[in-house]
Structure 1
Amino acid sequence: MGLRDILIVRNDDRSGVKTNWWINPDIIPLPPSRRTWGRTEFLGFWSIPHLCISSWTTGSVLVSLGLSTWETVAVLLVGQGLVAYLAICNGWIGGKWHIGFTVAQRAILGVYGSFVGIVMSVVMSIIWYGSQAWLGGLCISVILGSCSSAFLNMPNTLPEGALMQTRDLISFILFHLLSVPFMLVGPEKIKHPVILSNVLAVIVMISLTLWTVKTGEFRDPSGGWDTVHAQTNRWWTWLYGITSILGSVSSGILNHADFTRFARRQGVQTSGTLFGLFVPGTIIPLLGIVTASMNTDASGQPIWNPVDLLMDRLARDYTFLTRAACFFCAAGLITSQLAQNVLGNAYAAGMGLAGLFPKYVNIKRGCIIAAMLSWAFQPWQFYYLSSMYLDILSDFSVFLMPLTGIMISDFFLVRRQRIQLTHLYTRDTSGSYYFTYGVNWRALFVWLACVAPAIPGMIDNLQIKDRTEVTVAVLYYRGFCIFGFVQSLVVYWGIMRCFPPKGLGEQDEVDVYGTFASEEAIDLGITPFNKEFEVEGERLRGSFDDLELDDLVEDEKEKSEKEELKDVDLEDGEDQGLLKERFGARVI
């Protein structure tokens, strides 16, 4: 056995599906045994992004626009409401059909065109992984600095252009190493670490706020501190604040199906998503504003980053009590950074890479690859000014939100929530998702047409700091997170109505992968999984590698029809157990 054979991802022994260039055990439709997420898990999943350092500093983004504290609260509520709505809608396909974002892209952009959407999602996840890992590394610097003054005052041996210090580089490497064991735990088993992380993060953030309120001196964050963007009409400022919130989680909204596919049943993700977004998503940025209002640097500007705040405390008062407080605060923040980075970024990138290279990459391997690639984006450059945060977060949404609109339009308006799972895992030209040479030109055209008008405004916005007036292009760009979503949703629906592809509104008649429990399959009008089925006279065990889809579906349909003839047709109200027996369904 050569190295190439060793690197191939193992087959799925449960269903018999063989790993190839289109499928592996991590991207098949998940069976009931792997769907372990309930309300608690989704509450933890959507709380994590708001119980970490980047959410704490969201207030700096909004205050830098010139919003008052009360306006910031309103913008947070509206922004989180839109995030919740889009996340629930875009994740619905995962909860119903138990497939992730990477596979769902094949139904939208085509089996080859899907690479466009997957690559964008992977790149964004890797960038976010690197940026969150850098913040986690800074937390390690606080811990080591509180234990050793020699580490805290370590001479910087790196050139000034590196934009980081030697101690922070060491801590960055340590955080990467600390993340690896958690990457090797699958998403199905991450529940307890996430709960622990959320609890510790809440305790630390409340404690840090109380500490600074007790020892600091209040200064209104909206009253005189420098704002970095020219002020325009107030409504446009509000809109920009809302789109910055959407942009900050646009990647999570886009690939939400990667995680909703782990839901025990459809709809269980809704309540956890709503609570996790509205409560921590509103309270934590406000705690950040309160804390920053009590702490300023030598120039009178607020200290937004909690790591900078802890470092400032160590520099001013290197006593035992201060060192102990900084140590435990940083330790709690590390747990939140680990949870956010592994679950929200590493897993997302790993799933995307598994969709691009399923024969050789699974989720765990993809996580490691993403961590290595994150160095290329130099994440230490992301955290100098709050304005840089805003530019980065908003720029992401230019490319991702139109694709989100297309996905929601395709699943709800065009396909009416019906998907042919078997057609998602083949490049057969007869498949419903092969479209034209493997690309759905309709979706690609709409995406490009919606993204293009925002590019001039995005470029102008990078230079807006030196202007006193804002152009129409910049205003359009600042609201594009909403504009682009609505435009793509409507235009895609119209084009698909004018140029409908084959297979719309169709779904498999047989559960080939063992995806559904018997009752679930029957409710969907699908013959439940029967482990063995027959194709062209050959009995197979869940594998249809290199077989024609038409042969598979027709032969299985013919087989099920023959079995139906053996029994009397069921009337309304008859025993459902007889129905299971008739279809040869296993009881789960």
Structure 2
Amino acid sequence: MALLANFSIDSSSVSSDSNTEHKTGRKGWTNPDMEPVPVHLRTWTTWNYVAYWFCDAFTPVQWELASTMIAVGLSWKQCLLVILFGQVIMGAAILATGTIGARLHIAFPVIARVSFGFWFSYFAVVCRVFASFFWFGIQTYIGSECTYQMLKALVGPAFLRIPNHLPESAGITTTGMLSFLLFWLIELPFFFVSPTKIRHLFVVKTVVVPITCLGMLIWAAVRVPPHISLSRGSLRGASPTPWAVVSALNSAIGCWSPMAVNMPDFTRYAKNEKAQYIQIVVFPLSITLITICGIVVASTTEFLYGEVIWDPLLVIDRWDSRPASFFAALSFALAVLGTNIAANSVSAANDMTVLWPRYINIRRGQVVCGVVSAWALCPWKILSSAPGFLTMLSSYSIFMAPMSSIMVVDYFIVRKCKVDISSMYEPDGRYKYWNGINWRAVVAFIVGFIPTIPGLVGRLDPSLSIGGTSHIFDFGWLYAYIVAAVAYCLLSAVFPPYSSFVTDESP
């Protein structure tokens, strides 16, 4: 019997039937980590999703979110409005894909086979793995900067006197490499923690890190009251162009675009579908709160140190109190650790289980991600010598947006929430389409992605004259998400993929 997934599906029957199928006929194409999550492992509650997003949001990267917007002329008030509006949009996109995972209890790489076709889904998976690998390495380097501040506070001036034995071409110093190694070793044990239990790390971070951020906010407000620092400093803004505002909105949205693709990796563990609905509220709220901390503290540093310092670790570096510096840096290290595990290593591991199901499970996938991202990619060299590459990496949102929207409209509109779970694990099953490729998804992806290319090229090489087409990139995520969704719906209406549809009469 086909397994039907709709609004009234009995989730326990999905789990038991899929496990039977795994034992009897599709062993080469799946493993236990790819199967629908059994009922006893669906342990994530509403509180866990609150903790998850506060865990992801409260990091040094999000602290600095408003900095680029201030640089193009937005005032701090405009920044907050743009960020809040952008995160509401992204929160809706995350909730949409997350609901699919919460209903089916299946990870993104398997769900993608329904929309893209069994074999073309691997393209989407590889794109997500690529983003996870590089961002894991970069976040690990940011974590090493936290470790550096901890060692400096713990050891004192003696740590700064450690001689540098690495050449300038290495892109990192001896103390920097030591900090990097220590933070990576701290991350290592968490690779072996099951996603069903890693939620406890999110809870701890949700308590510790916001307290630190609040402490820095109070410190800043006491030293220089916000009504002075924000009204008289350089964060008042100028007169941004409309395109600058649109670009800022796109930046606020785009930095979370991978999570709008693979949120099912986490909502699959939800106790029930309603448990993850809180994301639409807690996601924009958490991002906005950390942004407020960043704006107030940055405005204060202009009065205290004569320059606007957006990086919270550089603010900590200016403090005279070694205990305060140590515990603040420790909190931010915990922040980076939680985000790196949640958004990068677990996501990469879920994707790799599909690429090599016989050999890779979630634990092994996290180890592969941790080793390759940290040591093979050398993130310190990327950050020190390849600003153009980082621009391209930060533009991955134009790849992620069409993937997310195609999956959403395919499940909710085209298929009306009815899918055959068993066929998701069969290359010759219902989702084979044409040689494993759903050409509708291919065309929709191209229509959503290609027009943003000129703007991306212009960002990488400002000397090139791209003309007005560069503005499409300014709202690239919104363009790619909406256009790909509309194109896919139209193509599916004109050329319905009848053979992939599930009906009440399906065998």
Q: One fold, TM greater than 0.5?
A: yes
Task: For 2:222 and 2:170, locate their aligned partners in 1 and report how far apart those are by CA, in whole Å.
Answer: 37
Task: For 2:69 and 2:388, locate their aligned partners in 1 and report how far apart those are by CA, in whole Å.
Answer: 12
- Structure 1 counterpart of 2:22, from 8, 17, 42: 17
Q: Determine if the alignment matches structure 1 residue 168 to structure 2 residue 176.
A: yes
After superposition, residues 378-393 of structure 1 pair within 5 angstroms as 378-380=378-380, 391=391
DSSP-derived class of the 2:333 partner: helix
Question: In the alignment, which residue of structure 2 is the partner of 1:326?
Answer: 325
Question: In the alignment, which residue of structure 1 is the partner of 2:442?
Answer: 444
What is the Cα deviation at residue 508 of structure 1?
8.9
Whether the aligned pair in 2 keeps the contact of 1:132 and 1:337 (CA below 8 Å) is yes
Question: In the alignment, which residue of structure 1 is the partner of 2:482?
Answer: 486
Question: In the alignment, which residue of structure 1 is the partner of 2:452?
Answer: 454
Whether the aligned pair in 2 keeps the contact of 1:399 and 1:451 (CA below 8 Å) is yes
What is the Cα deviation at residue 215 of structure 1?
4.3
Determine which structure has greater relative contact order: mean sequence separation of CA pairs < 8 Å that are 6+ residues apart, divided by chain length.
2
Whether the aligned pair in 1 keeps the contact of 2:229 and 2:303 (CA below 8 Å) is no
Whether the aligned pair in 1 keeps the contact of 2:76 and 2:235 (CA below 8 Å) is no
Question: In the alignment, which residue of structure 2 is the partner of 1:182?
Answer: 190
Whether the aligned pair in 1 keeps the contact of 2:455 and 2:469 (CA below 8 Å) is yes
Task: For 2:64 and 2:161, locate their aligned partners in 1 and report how far apart those are by CA, in whole Å.
Answer: 26
- Structure 2 counterpart of 1:61, from 57, 68, 77: 68
Question: In the alignment, which residue of structure 1 is the partner of 2:277?
Answer: 270
Residues 383 and 223 (structure 1 numbering): CA distance in 2 closer, same or farther, change over 3 Å? farther
What is the Cα deviation at residue 301 of structure 1?
3.7
- Residue type at the aligned position of 2:436: G
After superposition, residues 400-479 of structure 1 pair within 5 angstroms as 400-428=400-428, 431-464=429-462, 471-479=467-475
Whether the aligned pair in 2 keeps the contact of 1:112 and 1:439 (CA below 8 Å) is yes
DSSP-derived class of the 1:58 partner: coil
Q: Which runs of 4+ in 1 moved over 4 A?
A: 12-16, 215-227, 296-300, 381-385, 387-390
Whether the aligned pair in 1 keeps the contact of 2:34 and 2:354 (CA below 8 Å) is yes
What is the Cα deviation at residue 393 of structure 1?
6.5
What is the Cα deviation at residue 355 of structure 1?
1.3
DSSP-derived class of the 1:187 partner: coil
Q: Percent same amino acid among aligned pairs?
A: 29
What is the Cα deviation at residue 192 of structure 1?
2.2
Whether the aligned pair in 1 keeps the contact of 2:448 and 2:483 (CA below 8 Å) is yes
Question: In the alignment, which residue of structure 2 is the partner of 1:143?
Answer: 150
DSSP-derived class of the 2:273 partner: coil
Whether the aligned pair in 1 keeps the contact of 2:52 and 2:199 (CA below 8 Å) is no
Q: How many residues align?
A: 484
After superposition, residues 25-424 of structure 1 pair within 5 angstroms as 25-148=32-155, 149-215=157-223, 219-220=229-230, 224=234, 234-271=241-278, 273-296=279-302, 300-313=306-319, 317=320, 322-375=321-374, 376-380=376-380, 391=391, 394-424=394-424
Q: Which runs of 5+ in 1 are unaligned?
A: 1-11, 510-552, 555-588
What is the Cα deviation at residue 85 of structure 1?
0.6
Whether the aligned pair in 2 keeps the contact of 1:90 and 1:404 (CA below 8 Å) is yes
Task: For 2:482 and 2:435, locate their aligned partners in 1 and report how far apart those are by CA, in whole Å.
Answer: 28
Task: For 2:85 and 2:504, locate their aligned partners in 1 and report how far apart those are by CA, in whole Å.
Answer: 39
Residues 166 and 207 (structure 1 numbering): CA distance in 2 closer, same or farther, change over 3 Å? same
Task: For 1:279 and 1:447, locate their aligned partners in 2 and report how far apart those are by CA, in whole Å.
Answer: 31
- Residue type at the aligned position of 2:29: W
Whether the aligned pair in 2 keeps the contact of 1:45 and 1:276 (CA below 8 Å) is no
Whether the aligned pair in 2 keeps the contact of 1:250 and 1:400 (CA below 8 Å) is yes
Mean CA deviation greater in 436-445 or 470-479: 470-479
What is the Cα deviation at residue 160 of structure 1?
2.4
Mean CA deviation greater in 294-303 or 369-378: 294-303
Question: In the alignment, which residue of structure 1 is the partner of 2:9?
Answer: none
Question: In the alignment, which residue of structure 2 is the partner of 1:561?
Answer: none
What is the Cα deviation at residue 70 of structure 1?
0.7
Q: Which runs of 5+ in 2 are unaligned?
A: 1-16
What is the Cα deviation at residue 372 of structure 1?
1.4
Task: For 2:304 and 2:218, locate their aligned partners in 1 and report how far apart those are by CA, in whole Å.
Answer: 22
Larger helix share, 1 or 2: 2
- Residue type at the aligned position of 1:309: V
Residues 153 and 225 (structure 1 numbering): CA distance in 2 closer, same or farther, change over 3 Å? farther
Task: For 1:187 and 1:160, locate their aligned partners in 2 and report how far apart those are by CA, in whole Å.
Answer: 40
Whether the aligned pair in 2 keeps the contact of 1:419 and 1:508 (CA below 8 Å) is no
DSSP-derived class of the 2:29 partner: coil
What is the Cα deviation at residue 89 of structure 1?
0.8
Task: For 2:357 and 2:273, locate their aligned partners in 1 and report how far apart those are by CA, in whole Å.
Answer: 26
Q: Determine if the alignment matches structure 1 residue 500 to structure 2 residue 496.
A: yes
Question: In the alignment, which residue of structure 1 is the partner of 2:8?
Answer: none
- Residue type at the aligned position of 2:258: S
Residues 507 and 24 (structure 1 numbering): CA distance in 2 closer, same or farther, change over 3 Å? farther
Task: For 1:161 and 1:299, locate their aligned partners in 2 and report how far apart those are by CA, in whole Å.
Answer: 31
Deviations 1:112-144 (A, max 9, x none): 111100011111111221121111111111111
DSSP-derived class of the 2:301 partner: coil
Which of structures 1 and 2 has the bigger CA Rg? 1
Task: For 2:129 and 2:504, locate their aligned partners in 1 and report how far apart those are by CA, in whole Å.
Answer: 29
- Residue type at the aligned position of 2:60: I
Whether the aligned pair in 2 keeps the contact of 1:243 and 1:394 (CA below 8 Å) is no
Whether the aligned pair in 2 keeps the contact of 1:421 and 1:508 (CA below 8 Å) is no
Task: For 1:114 and 1:213, locate their aligned partners in 2 and report how far apart those are by CA, in whole Å.
Answer: 50
What is the Cα deviation at residue 233 of structure 1?
6.4
Residues 222 and 357 (structure 1 numbering): CA distance in 2 closer, same or farther, change over 3 Å? farther
What is the Cα deviation at residue 245 of structure 1?
1.4
Mean CA deviation greater in 124-133 or 15-24: 15-24
